[in-house]
Structure 1
Amino acid sequence: MIPWVHIDTGTIPNGGGTLRLMRRGQEFSIQLGQNELMNSRLSGSEVALAELACGRIAARSGARVLIGGLGMGFTLRAALQTLPERALVEVAELVPSVAAWARGPLAEVFGGILDDPRVRLLQTDVAAPIGAARAVYDAILLDVDNGPDGLTHPGNDRLYDHGGLGLARRALRPGGVLAVWSAHPDAAFTRRLRDAGFTVEEVPVRANGRRGGARHRIWLAARPDGAR
């Protein structure tokens, strides 16, 4: 078997630990400690995150989307394929090394999608643009942890608590959607979304798409039309 090779290490700001970029042949993996956060061979649920959320708002003229977490670009690519030419997709990436890998060792995986004129890469915590926005986004997609808790960065917990969900709801335009990726179900998070005023759908997806793989979850939480 081909062994894994350590390509690079990236530091998560504010004491969040370190990420390791690993390669085995043509396969890449980004790991945090013993947790694999993403793998270049397993993109089905990350693609589904974008297709499900952006499919709901693709008909909007000038749709504006915020993606939390660049990862290996699978969610971004699927969003660009789903959205119209006049859309704007902002990607908030906290870890500088992850953005650098996209144009370095992972350039072939990304395939130039960061050069799409609809893309704006923000070197920041996704909580910043969410907190600053007032009815700005048609969709907010969060794939920054393995679920609705701060695995990669302890400060991310605030994205999923009652206050953070309230800010996300305020950042969305009426009828907009907050989509959250998770490796596992979480009934308490579903309740918090409803308490925050969202209408909620929980969709089971597979890591390998139609080919199966691990069972993941995506929450689609819509801000009702006319809601304040």
Structure 2
Amino acid sequence: MIRWEHLDTAAVPGGDELRLMRRGHEYSIMAGSIELMNSRLSGSEEALATLTQARLAGRLRPRVLIGGLGMGFTLRAALAAYGPDAELVVAELVPEIVAWARGPLVEVFGTCLDDPRTRVEIGDVADLIRSGGPWDAILLDVDNGPGGLTRAENDGLYGHAGLAAAKTALTSGGLLAVWSSVRDNGFTRRLGQAGFKVEEVGVRAHRGRGARHVIWIAAKP
């Protein structure tokens, strides 16, 4: 059996430490004993992009903000789904994750960071929500979902103030899409209270198989 190899460590500002692990051609990013993402399990993160694009089909020059680079699953799916006139901005808080994408994880990422439609910003996605709009879609795959895990400040994205900021930053009919590893009825209620039309979609971790994850697609009227 091939053993896991620890490749690198990164500190999350105000949060936990992340470890990049490799076993053969399989990669994992861990926070403590919890696996945040695995290179073999990409289905639900890809769905975050494809479900949103399907509901925005027909928009000219869509501007999409992706919160969290991770292993690039959402970004690559968005690049495949959107046309040549799209603008895809990725906000990543941890600089080492961007360095991993161009280093040890390059076989996972391929050339997606070099696509002319892609721009990566190092920093908090909340700052781009407040200052970088208007956005046609905001896709959040941050901290395992609204429950939070690695950084207490991320809770602000999913509270009443964060949802109000996202709604303000969206174009008319724009979409806020949020990935989570678990259901959260309280978050569904907060989306409705913020004035969004809410759709909750169950997805599998890997293209119809594996753990059940949740994506909320919240439309601004």
Name the TM tier (shorter chain): over 0.9
Structure 1 residues 107-126: aligned runs within 5 Å: 107-126=106-125
Structure 1 residues 44-55: aligned runs within 5 Å: 44-55=43-54
Structure 1 residues 35-46: aligned runs within 5 Å: 35-46=34-45
The 3-state SS of whatever aligns with 1:213 is strand
Following superposition, the deviation at residue 133 of structure 1 comes to: 4.2
Structure 1 residues 99-178: aligned runs within 5 Å: 99-134=98-133, 136-178=134-176
Rounded to whole Å, the distance in 1 between the matches of 2:56 and 2:185 is 26
Relative to structure 1, the CA distance from residue 180 to residue 173 in structure 2 (aligned partners, 3 Å threshold; closer, same or farther) is same
Give the TM-score of the pair, scaled to structure 2: 0.98
Rounded to whole Å, the distance in 2 between the matches of 1:34 and 1:197 is 37
1:11 is the counterpart of 2:8:
no
Following superposition, the deviation at residue 145 of structure 1 comes to: 1.4
* 1:59 paired residue number: 58
Rounded to whole Å, the distance in 2 between the matches of 1:183 and 1:166 is 23
CA contact (8 A) 1:133 1:170 kept: no
Give the TM-score of the pair, scaled to structure 1: 0.95
Instruction: Say which of 174, 187, 205 aligns to 1:189.
Output: 187
Rounded to whole Å, the distance in 1 between the matches of 2:216 and 2:194 is 14
Aligned length: 221
Structure 1 residues 88-107: aligned runs within 5 Å: 88-107=87-106
Following superposition, the deviation at residue 17 of structure 1 comes to: 2.0
The 3-state SS of whatever aligns with 2:210 is coil
The 3-state SS of whatever aligns with 1:214 is strand
* 1:215 paired residue number: 212
CA contact (8 A) 1:181 1:217 kept: yes
The 3-state SS of whatever aligns with 1:185 is coil
Following superposition, the deviation at residue 2 of structure 1 comes to: 1.0
Structure 1 residues 21-36: aligned runs within 5 Å: 21-36=20-35
What is the CA RMSD across the aligned residues, in angstroms?
A: 0.9
Segments of 4+ in structure 1 off by > 2 A? none
Rounded to whole Å, the distance in 1 between the matches of 2:54 and 2:9 is 35
Structure 1 residues 57-96: aligned runs within 5 Å: 57-96=56-95
Alignment gaps of 5+ in structure 1 = none
Following superposition, the deviation at residue 95 of structure 1 comes to: 0.3
What are the superposed Cα offsets for residues 153-174 of structure 1, whole Å, 9 maximum, x if unpaired? 2100000000100000000000
Query: Amino acid of the residue matched to residue 22 of structure 1?
Result: M
Query: Amino acid of the residue matched to residue 97 of structure 2?
Result: V
Rounded to whole Å, the distance in 2 between the matches of 1:155 and 1:83 is 31
